[in-house]
Structure 1
Amino acid sequence: MDQERHKTEWEERIRFVARYYRERTFDPEIGWKQFADKQNIRTRFRIPVWVWQVAAACLLLAGYGIYRMIGQQQPEWVVITADAGQGKEVFLPDSSQVSLAAFAELRYDAKRYGKENRQVELKGKAFYQVKHRKNLPFRVQTHLGNVVVLGTSFLVRELQNQMEVQVLQGRVRMEAGKKQPVLLEAGMSARYSETDEDLQVLQEADENCLSWKTGELVFRETPLSKVIHDIEVCYEVKLKELSGASDSLRLSASFKKKPVEEVLLVINQTLDTQLVIEKSKR
């Protein structure tokens, strides 16, 4: 009963206010001043409206400045990929040239490249011809290690657990795993294996390291296993030897932009092997 009585009284008060209230006829500041004078209440200093407006404007400007600063720090990635069966030639902002092999991916931060750094990230295989800038060295980053360029042209091949670097001109510094960085000069190569954390440096250059780019293969008393490997890399195929030929077989021959079927025909006739292309399983 008490709740119903209070509810009824409350509704009557609301109706009374609604009956006599007129919009904009009541000034809350004047009302508060009158009430405070009757009750002897000392009012605090009132901050002018323009002060609040200036403070709000400053807050907005500060927020916008922070937003711009964060936006400038965010990278602006440029991602370039090469499709299956074909490479891609890429010119970077500093005119350095990159030849991507099939399935390779290259990316760099357009905001910082050429200004704060010359760093690119690589997945797959690529050949680089780099413009020299002493104060801003060129760097290739893979998931296994880094290559810092001290010269002009080199090859980087990144696989799931292996990384290879071959230098054609100039010098590069290879950094991989926990191994000490190695300096590679023209004609040298290095291979790092994440599986056994092994870094091998080879003094002899691989003549076929750019066969995927040039379409040329050169074999000089080359073991059969190396011949098969180079053909697979050059033509992006998987080979199978049906006759079980020995790896003691050696091949001396050269091929310049020949179809893979013609290359296999010559090798099979020369070494009496049965190399065939494995069909991909779907």
Structure 2
Amino acid sequence: MTDRDYTHYTSSDFLEDDFFIHWVIRPDRKANAFWQTFLRQHPEKETVVREAAAIIRVYRSQQTFTNEAHREDIWKRIDATIHRETITKTRTFHIPVYMRVAAAVALVAVSAFILFTVIGHGKHTVRTAFGEVKAITLPDQSIVMLNGNSELVYKGNWNGESQREVWIKGEAYFDVNHINKDTANILPGHRFIVHSPGIDIQVLGTSFNVKSRRNKTNIALISGKIEVNYIDPSSVASGGIVLRPGDYVEYAGSKLLTRKKLVRPHKIATWTVREITFMDPSLNDIAETLQDNYGYAINVEDQELMNLKIEGEISVTSVQELLALVSSTLGIRMEEAGNEIIITKR
């Protein structure tokens, strides 16, 4: 076992711990007992432990990477941990695990459809197809989880002198590497800016979810602190809005539509671990997600059906499970036919 005190560990710390890595990759009875006891005694660490384990699993199964320059350095600890615990075997792949992050990431097998290209002015673009989730390591070793039908653009040369900048279309979960040590003296190279249509998000080191679709942008802060600013400064007289953990805001153009506190903010990013989650959704909300994230066309018999609402939380792991649950709950038919969802009355 281990005599380490895990009560103050962040996801980054867990990712650098050999005992934890071994448990995730090759769990045994004793390790399972240890971590189950730990989580019972410290339930507040469940999210962090789950996120760190997810990072390890997704990077071992992912086939395409956007930061190959750090490939060997990143693999060293995970590789060494495996070989200390078992007889050396021929690996069918050499895939790195990102060791300096604290983010929830997807337990997914990423297909080769992901397109990574270098475009003009030293910028990189990563795009995902419908239904795909992609883990991206940025030059500063921050990590981004990109949801299906989304795009991330970032500068390729982060020299530590100019601010770190990314541009997002669609949905992404960010965990930003905190390189600033003096909050009273923030150097330009310490700033991290996320550009979304109409607004900029300024970050020092934190984790948050951003979704920009259908002319709206919503932001949920999981940990840390961020400041949201309109690109057009005339849009708001009092400057930016500072968000604290659990804060949620939604914008449309230059207008703030919603500002509220989330009871369980981590639920906003369950898509990173391949869960489809809704809270008190209308059928229209569900249909939009099926269109935006999975590329389905929606064919509805009667538009009035779209106003139907489910009270409470939905949490499923597949589109098929979602269709069955919604059909049963609302007393309608939701049938998948190729890339189309047909909604009819019973």
**Structure 2 length normalisation: TM-score?**
0.51
Corresponding residue number in structure 2 for 1:161: 215
Does structure 1 residue 269 correspond to structure 2 residue 322? no
Identity %, equivalent residues: 21
Q: Which moved more, 1:159-168 or 1:90-99?
A: 159-168
Is the 8 Å Cα contact of residues 238 and 278 (structure 1) preserved in structure 2?
Answer: no
- The partner residue of 1:198 within 255, 260, 263 is 255
Secondary structure, in 3 states, of the residue corresponding to 1:140?
A: strand
Which structure 2 residues correspond to residues 110-189 of structure 1 after superposition, within 5 A? 110-134=156-180, 135=186, 136-159=190-213, 161-176=215-230, 177=232, 178-179=235-236, 180-189=239-248
The number of aligned residues is 205
Does structure 1 residue 105 correspond to structure 2 residue 165? no
Secondary structure, in 3 states, of the residue corresponding to 1:124?
A: strand
Is the 8 Å Cα contact of residues 242 and 275 (structure 1) preserved in structure 2?
Answer: no
Secondary structure, in 3 states, of the residue corresponding to 1:114?
A: coil
Deviation string 1:208-267 (CA, Å, 9 cap, x unpaired) is: 532432222345554444444455555443444436437354344543323x12321222
How far off its partner does 1:170 sit? 1.5
**Structure 1 length normalisation: TM-score?**
0.61
1:153–1:278 CA distance, 2 compared to 1 (3 A): farther
Deviation string 1:91-121 (CA, Å, 9 cap, x unpaired) is: 1121100011223222222234533221112
Is the 8 Å Cα contact of residues 125 and 153 (structure 2) preserved in structure 1?
Answer: yes
How far off its partner does 1:127 sit? 0.8
How far off its partner does 1:88 sit? 1.2
How far off its partner does 1:125 sit? 1.9
Q: Which moved more, 1:237-246 or 1:146-155?
A: 237-246
Q: Highest relative contact order (Cα 8 Å, sep 6+), 1 or 2?
A: 2
Provide the rounded CA distance (Å) in 2 between the counterparts of 1:220 and 1:200: 18
Q: Which moved more, 1:210-219 or 1:118-127?
A: 210-219
1:278–1:166 CA distance, 2 compared to 1 (3 A): farther
Secondary structure, in 3 states, of the residue corresponding to 2:246?
A: coil
Q: Find the structure with the greater CA-based Rg.
A: 1
How far off its partner does 1:143 sit? 3.7
Which structure 2 residues correspond to residues 55-74 of structure 1 after superposition, within 5 A? none
Q: Give, as a single letter, the amino acid of the residue that structure 2 aligns with 1:159.
A: R
- The partner residue of 2:310 within 240, 245, 250 is 250
Deviation string 1:6-62 (CA, Å, 9 cap, x unpaired) is: xxxxxxxxxxxxxxxxxxxxxxxxxxxxxxxxxxxxxxxxxxxxxxxxxxxxxxxxx
Provide the rounded CA distance (Å) in 1 between the counterparts of 2:195 and 2:212: 10
How far off its partner does 1:207 sit? 6.5
User: Which 4+ residue blocks in structure 1 deviate beyond 6 angstroms?
Assistant: none
Secondary structure, in 3 states, of the residue corresponding to 1:131?
A: coil
Is the 8 Å Cα contact of residues 280 and 311 (structure 2) preserved in structure 1?
Answer: yes
Provide the rounded CA distance (Å) in 2 between the counterparts of 1:149 and 1:262: 37
1:225–1:76 CA distance, 2 compared to 1 (3 A): closer
1:277–1:240 CA distance, 2 compared to 1 (3 A): farther
1:95–1:187 CA distance, 2 compared to 1 (3 A): same
Q: Which moved more, 1:117-126 or 1:217-226?
A: 217-226
Provide the rounded CA distance (Å) in 2 between the counterparts of 1:253 and 1:161: 25
Is the 8 Å Cα contact of residues 127 and 156 (structure 1) preserved in structure 2?
Answer: yes
Provide the rounded CA distance (Å) in 2 between the counterparts of 1:265 and 1:246: 16
Secondary structure, in 3 states, of the residue corresponding to 2:268?
A: coil
Structure 1 residue ranges without an equivalent (≥5): 1-73
1:224–1:251 CA distance, 2 compared to 1 (3 A): farther
How far off its partner does 1:139 sit? 0.9
Which structure 2 residues correspond to residues 76-91 of structure 1 after superposition, within 5 A? 76-91=122-137
Provide the rounded CA distance (Å) in 2 between the counterparts of 1:219 and 1:106: 25
What's the Cα RMSD here?
A: 3.0
